[in-house]
Amino acid sequence: MRFTAEQRLDDGVLERAFTLGEIPGILWTPGSVSAPAPLILLGHPGGLHTMYPRLAARARHCAAEGFAAATIELPGSGDRPRSAAAEAARADLRRALAAGEPVTGEIVDRLVLPLVDRAVPEWRAALDALLPLPEIGGPVGYSGGVIAIGVRLAAVEPRIAAAVLYAGTFVPRALFEDARRVTVPLLVLLQWDDETNDRQSALELFDALGSEEKTLHANMGGHTGVPWFEGDDANRFFVRHLR
């Protein structure tokens, strides 16, 4: 991992851009740190540059509770090389949504499974690189982004101690097997009328997750309408489980 730029934000948070091999990422650490900070991995749908304002706001929100936060670019997003197969699947998904047709499992599998298979080892590699930093301790939380990535990561990566999952994107049925293996405390967010997801599938996924402690927060509105107070709730969830 190589740091490529840094700036101090107005609330004292230190923001550092880094590259992990060819993968760009960002690390935010609280301004005043007395002990190594727990780390929250910030998931997102891909496209660090476009997502930057929202990611930075979430990171500052985390830092206000004494957490470090980090994110990396997804495979095939931002400046990373596109996958022709993923682009074709994404076009099919958009076509189905625009036509009001059901999104078939075949489209979801083609779009999401290769992404999960590539992304999860990269997030684990990011943990390998970030956790040795003296300003970062454990435990680690994962928050938001493509829920299939969060589910697989929580299932296979023992350093993830708690996760906030956003049920806002389609989940391949194969990932339900991963879901059953998840045991860490979970907070699952669902937008009740999410135009890019299926409510019943999201409820089935929540049911399938293996964790004894899991909470579903469902709010009215569409994909981008998650209410502001859920950010506070996520912070309190991580305070309960990472401190």
Nearer to a copy of itself, 134 or 228 (CB): 228
Nearer to a copy of itself, 126 or 155 (CB): 155
Give, in order, the Cα–Cα distances in Å from 139 to each of 37, 43, 161, 238, 240: 9, 17, 6, 10, 12
Q: What is the DSSP string of 66-124?
A: T-EEEEEPPTTSTTSPP-HHHHHHHHHHHHHHHTT----HHHHHHHHHHHHHHHHHHHH
Q: Is 3 in the site for a copy of itself (CB under 8 A)?
A: no
Residue 16, C-beta contacts closer than 8 angstroms, at least 6 positions apart: 3, 5, 6, 26, 27, 28, 29
Nearer to a copy of itself, 77 or 191 (CB): 191
Q: What is the DSSP string of 28-64?
A: EE-SS-SSPEEEEEEE-SS-HHHHHHHHHHHHHHHHH
Q: Is 198 in the site for a copy of itself (CB under 8 A)?
A: no
Q: Minimum distance from CB of 127 to a copy of itself (Å)?
A: 27
Q: Is 192 in the site for a copy of itself (CB under 8 A)?
A: yes
Q: Is 207 in the site for a copy of itself (CB under 8 A)?
A: yes
Q: Minimum distance from CB of 219 to a copy of itself (Å)?
A: 5
Q: Are 139 and 157 in contact (CB under 8 A)?
A: no
CA distance 185 to 99: 38
Q: Is 227 in the site for a copy of itself (CB under 8 A)?
A: yes
Site residues (CB under 8 A) for a copy of itself, limited to 54-73: none
Can you tell me which of 82, 224, 229, 243 binds a copy of itself, judged by CB under 8 A?
229
Q: Is 208 in the site for a copy of itself (CB under 8 A)?
A: no
Candidates 19-27, 50-58, 163-171, 217-225 — which segment interacts with a copy of itself by CB under 8 A?
217-225
Candidates 27-35, 132-140, 176-184, 211-219 — which segment interacts with a copy of itself by CB under 8 A?
211-219
Q: Where does this chain bind a copy of itself (CB under 8 A)?
A: 192, 203, 206-207, 211-220, 227, 229, 232-233, 236, 240
